[in-house]
Chain A
Amino acid sequence: GENVEQHPSTLSVQEGDSAVIKCTYSDSASNYFPWYKQELGKGPQLIIDIRSNVGEKKDQRIAVTLNKTAKHFSLHITETQPEDSAVYFCAASIAGANNLFFGTGTRLTVIP
């Protein structure tokens, strides 16, 4: 099955700096890559996703890049704010499959 690795496990940045979280996947058939944000006491919420027919997608301060050849994808958060502090999960899925395969999460702390 698919194996998703996520790094780093913890990340601290100063408010206003950028944060980058990286994931790799093992199954070249994976073609859907969502990113979830989980705040304390809440379930994960989708913040951005990318499909394998594009290399980059942006939504305001958040962007995701995908390198299919190297089988890795990254989340970029610019101009970080304290409310960005949360645990972020990457995931990968194969079209037609039931499963989302998740990474182990990155705890991001934005220091005011």
Chain B
Amino acid sequence: ETGVTQTPRHLVMGMTNKKSLKCEQHLGHNAMYWYKQSAKKPLELMFVYNFKEQTENNSVPSRFSPECPNSSHLFLHLHTLQPEDSALYLCASSPRTSFYEQFFGPGTRLTVL
């Protein structure tokens, strides 16, 4: 295991639901990331947090709302999603941003009906 856990592993939600994805890292890292992985596309960086502060928002729609209460936990709050938001959402962490290996969790497979 990489030391990064994600829950739930699978999520099915309707377009009007509100749900949250959770990520936890046990590595003592200070940077955490959310990525979206869709079929036949490169991994897309969504958000970056460094020492609990958001340092990157990669033009992500407001229906995705991140929260980082401390350096070990990262959430992605979801509301009024669209079917095209169905994807694998990956969380990663690294000792700090830039130039360091990123450790990925197993991902949450999200299906929006």
Contact = CB atoms under 8 A, between A and B. Distances in A.
Interface stretch (A64-72, A74-82, A89-97): A89-97
B62 interface: no
B86 to A, nearest CB: 17
Given A43-B2, A45-B2, A45-B104, A102 B43 contact: yes
A43 B55 contact: no
Given A34-B101, A43-B2, A4 B42 contact: yes
B106 interface: yes
Interface residues of B, number: 24
Contacts of B41: 104
A95 B99 contact: yes
Contact of A43 (B4, B40, B50, B98): B4
Given A41-B106, A45-B2, A101 B99 contact: no
**What is the interface residue range for chain A against chain B?**
20 to 34
B106 A43 contact: yes
Contact of A98 (B42, B56, B90): B56
B92 interface: yes
Given A41-B106, A43-B90, A98 B43 contact: no
SS class, residues of chain B in contact with chain A? loop
Given A98-B45, A103-B42, A104-B42, A93 B99 contact: yes
A42 B105 CA distance: 7
Interface in B97-113: 97-99, 101-107
B48 interface: yes
A100 interface: yes
Interface in B44-81: 45, 48, 50, 55-56, 58
Interface of A: 4, 9, 32, 34, 36, 41-46, 49, 89, 93, 95-105
Interface of B: 2, 4, 40-43, 45, 48, 50, 55-56, 58, 90, 92, 97-99, 101-107
